[in-house]
Structure 1
Amino acid sequence: MTRSAPVSQLRARNTCASVSPPRLPPAPSSISTMPSPAITRHAEEPPGWAELARATGTFYHDPRWIREIAATFAYRVHWLAAGEGALTGALALAEVPALIGAARLVSFPFSFIAGPMTRDPAVARALAAAARELAGQRGLKRVEIKQPGTAGPVADGFVRSTRYTTYRVPTIGGEQAVWRRLHVTSTQQRIRKGQKAGVTVGLGETSEDWLAMARLEERVQQSFGVPAPPRRFFLGSCRRLQEAGLVDLYLARVPDGRVAAGFVMFKGPREWVYAFSASDLRFVREFRPTHALLWEGLRRAAAAGVVVDLGRAAPEQASLAEFKLRWGAEAVPLAYDYWPDAGGLQQARRDRGVLALAARLWSWLPAPLARLGSGLYRYLG
């Protein structure tokens, strides 16, 4: 039995706390006379969440993903729900700590498209308002709600950022239609080069396979100057999600059997997400293992009839965006809504300022020390 109470009741219980929550800005007046949908807050997944996620959500709304992230990174999660009986809307929020200062309330860490699950704009606004109210009660400095598309209204008190764009490959028409949409020289030719060089692609399942992926990711992320996920994320969370049918691990091997590249595909009900990708630089030019891998993922997605999301890019990541477009992807804007203002790591440029300096310093660390630094990963959510 999950514990729940209306958010307004929870606020009343907290009025005697020794530390007063920060004042919320007054919401703009509205001419609507419709009552706001009632929102309840739960400490655990409420009944009906999984069904709503299958009907309206993405991979990142699946309760199994939410629980794994919460357990792996020790996040406190708040499950907000709308509707009595069958859920009409839901929003998962995690308290993400800061190295210095107050924590943030995020929907959802390491999930670039999460946000409210609902088809009703009024329910979406009510969920955002409940998140804002919860942040005030908990003394959190910011609310961050990440969602696909920019058509939805901005909730009262929130500021919208459209800094990020994601790139989705449609698979309508099957494998041959997907192939025809690929860039001829930079994509099709490199796929063929990998195939002719003897690269083989298969699905990995064992602990050794996941460890190989974790090691590849560590080397690549250090070259980019950022912490890699801790190994327990791959060997624990991802492997358990794989057993549940939600994750695939693709590995490319050169003819002598060595792993040259790997990527992790998250499998949602309508979209699969190209989540983590890393390659051994020794094999890139001769074997093009990344191209062989991604093409195999697209082939399987086409057979399943799902869209493949190649992930987001920021404006300063022009070369990354171009890579995605050459795979036949279509650009889809993302809306990140913030209270009280837009800020934090998600809004900082990566090619200048503090983040650029930190990246240079991190890339110089000895590999064993950088791996120990994976403990910092939870603060990036």
Structure 2
Amino acid sequence: MELSASRPADHKARLEQLKCTKSRLGRQLSGARKVGDDLQDLLAEFQAVTSEIKALQKRLKQQLNQTSTHEKWVPPNLTVSSAVLDQLVKSPVNVQLCTGGDVKAAEAYVACHPASSLWHRPVITSFIAETYRHPAQILIALSADKRVVGIVSLVQLKSRLFGNFMVSVPYFNYGGLLADHPTVADALIEAANRWREQESAAHLELRHVQNLGLGLPQRGNKVSFWLGLPDTTQQLWNSFKPKLRAQIRRGEREHAEFVLGGSEHLHDFYRVFSENMRDLGTPVYGRAFFRKLLQRLPEQTWLVVVRVGQKAVGCAFLAGYRNRLEIPWASTLRSVSHTSINMFMYWKILEFAVSRGYRVFDFGRCSEHAGTYHFKKQWGAQPIPLHWDYVLAPRAVLPALNPENPKYHLLIAIWKKLPVWAANTLGPPIVRMLP
């Protein structure tokens, strides 16, 4: 949707401009009368401005009446489907490795499960294993009639710096198991734990959204933000608070160029993304990580680049699956933070989501009450608490591989001082070992 002059806020801005013009003309008329100048042209201009003011005031009143008589769209309250269903499963259940012949059935199972995400797909686990050479297993549960009734994908990360552990799945916001019944979930966890024991891994992290009641140690300090989407961008725009709309318009005044596509934008995307990650003190993924992910999911992933004066200043990575569009990575340069370019970029992305028929926009995960938490909430998005379950080795404790851990504060401070080229060289080998 283009931001047109049909909005009440735009009429109000025009009205204020006209009032200033009317005051200026009034002063000019007063001065002209004193010296006896010809008033005809000034009077005509004054009357034209006065007429336009009256017309705008009338239109604003009509729009106010329409707004009060028509119910405004508000984002719906979203519910999260459970990863563990309560469907009838023929016993006994057999858990086995997903081999080449099983992949098609496993993909079909994920596609039909109501709680699945893009990152549950076997293709994603294969992508991680091939890109970073991590050991990985995809376990599927088969019922007595040979139907797939559950799945869990596991990736092992092992390094001297961060230790030996497993994640389902690393790098992305969602993962964990999908199962048709609690007994299937138990069987999958038991099989996953056997592999953890064989590899002497300290823990297994299962990235669930809902609290599945698995009886495992759990973390709940992360949230995602989901925004239900309407049929039209006009409905979405009208649902925003005036302050949010003003911030978007502030970004539009930069006359930024918004482009959306694929690998052809990778250079600009990575330049902005890597500089921002350095500023945050966070090791960055290699350029190849994004290129290969785009290649694996050509119909479900997009790169966004925002340019001002031919210079890339904002970027985002989008991933769509079923009815939800997710933004797992987004950045803008600190040098343009005062211009609200990020607000402009997110609005254009939301326009894209609505135009493609997505019903939910996923702003991605963050820590509770962090700055990004409030940024996402202001769009009207709903916080979705995440519940990450852990299978721990004896005497192991919950992991703390995150920037909030005090032991990493000095390293983060040093990283922020690195030149971007150095951070981009050192970062990929490090970040591949972080979940």
Aligned to 1:194: 251
Note if contact 1:52-1:117 (Cα within 8 Å) is conserved in structure 2: no
Residues 146, 36 of structure 1: alpha-carbon distance in 2 compared, 3 angstrom cutoff: farther
Aligned to 1:278: 331
Q: Distance in 2 between matches of 1:274 and 1:59?
A: 12
- Counterpart of 1:126 in structure 2: which amino acid? A
Note if contact 1:135-1:142 (Cα within 8 Å) is conserved in structure 2: yes
Aligned to 1:210: 266
Residue-by-residue CA offset, 1:101-139 (whole Å, 9 max, x unaligned):
752111001122111123423222221222112211222
User: How far off is 1:39 after superposition?
Assistant: 1.1
Aligned to 1:137: 198
Does 2:141 correspond to 1:82?
yes
User: How far off is 1:195 after superposition?
Assistant: 2.0
Superposition pairs of residues 187-336 of structure 1, within 5 angstroms:
187-207=244-264, 209-234=265-290, 236-243=291-298, 245-254=299-308, 256-286=309-339, 288-303=340-355, 304-315=357-368, 317-336=369-388
- Counterpart of 2:377 in structure 1: which amino acid? L
Superposition pairs of residues 66-145 of structure 1, within 5 angstroms:
66-84=125-143, 85-100=146-161, 102-145=163-206
Aligned equivalent of 2:213, options 150, 153, 157: 153
Q: How many percent identity over aligned positions?
A: 18
Aligned to 1:376: 430
User: How far off is 1:272 after superposition?
Assistant: 1.7
Note if contact 1:201-1:250 (Cα within 8 Å) is conserved in structure 2: yes
Q: Distance in 1 between matches of 2:334 and 2:283?
A: 19
User: How far off is 1:228 after superposition?
Assistant: 0.6
Superposition pairs of residues 173-192 of structure 1, within 5 angstroms:
173-185=231-243, 187-192=244-249
Note if contact 2:173-2:328 (Cα within 8 Å) is conserved in structure 1: no
- Counterpart of 2:139 in structure 1: which amino acid? L
Aligned to 2:224: 166
Residue-by-residue CA offset, 1:38-89 (whole Å, 9 max, x unaligned):
2112355633121122212101112332222221111111011012433111
Q: Distance in 2 between matches of 1:378 and 1:233?
A: 10
The DSSP-based 3-state class of the residue aligned with 2:152 is: strand
User: How far off is 1:237 after superposition?
Assistant: 1.6
User: How far off is 1:289 after superposition?
Assistant: 2.3
User: How far off is 1:302 after superposition?
Assistant: 2.2
Superposition pairs of residues 336-375 of structure 1, within 5 angstroms:
336-340=388-392, 343-346=398-401, 348=402, 350-351=403-404, 353-374=406-427, 375=429
Q: How many residues align?
A: 336
Aligned to 1:8: none
Note if contact 1:43-1:78 (Cα within 8 Å) is conserved in structure 2: no
Q: Distance in 2 between matches of 1:164 and 1:77?
A: 25
User: How far off is 1:259 after superposition?
Assistant: 1.5
Superposition pairs of residues 16-55 of structure 1, within 5 angstroms:
37-42=93-98, 46-55=103-112
Q: Distance in 1 between matches of 2:259 and 2:317?
A: 12
Structure 2, unmatched stretches of 5+, are 1-89
Residue-by-residue CA offset, 1:157-192 (whole Å, 9 max, x unaligned):
x3121121111111145423332343431x321211
| Structure with bigger RCO (C-alpha 8 Å, 6+ apart) | 1
Residue-by-residue CA offset, 1:328-347 (whole Å, 9 max, x unaligned):
1101111111111552244x
Q: Which has the higher helix share?
A: 2
Residues 358, 111 of structure 1: alpha-carbon distance in 2 compared, 3 angstrom cutoff: same
Q: Distance in 1 between matches of 2:404 and 2:324?
A: 30
Q: Distance in 2 between matches of 1:232 and 1:168?
A: 29
Residues 107, 352 of structure 1: alpha-carbon distance in 2 compared, 3 angstrom cutoff: closer
Structure 1, unmatched stretches of 5+, are 1-33
Larger Rg: 1 or 2? 2
Residues 206, 108 of structure 1: alpha-carbon distance in 2 compared, 3 angstrom cutoff: closer
Residue-by-residue CA offset, 1:194-229 (whole Å, 9 max, x unaligned):
22331121213344x102111111111111111011
Residues 109, 206 of structure 1: alpha-carbon distance in 2 compared, 3 angstrom cutoff: closer
Note if contact 2:208-2:387 (Cα within 8 Å) is conserved in structure 1: yes
User: How far off is 1:36 after superposition?
Assistant: 6.6
- Counterpart of 1:228 in structure 2: which amino acid? V
- Counterpart of 1:75 in structure 2: which amino acid? H
The DSSP-based 3-state class of the residue aligned with 2:103 is: coil
User: How far off is 1:351 after superposition?
Assistant: 4.0
Note if contact 2:316-2:331 (Cα within 8 Å) is conserved in structure 1: yes
TM-score of the pair, normalised by structure 1: 0.82
Note if contact 2:305-2:315 (Cα within 8 Å) is conserved in structure 1: yes
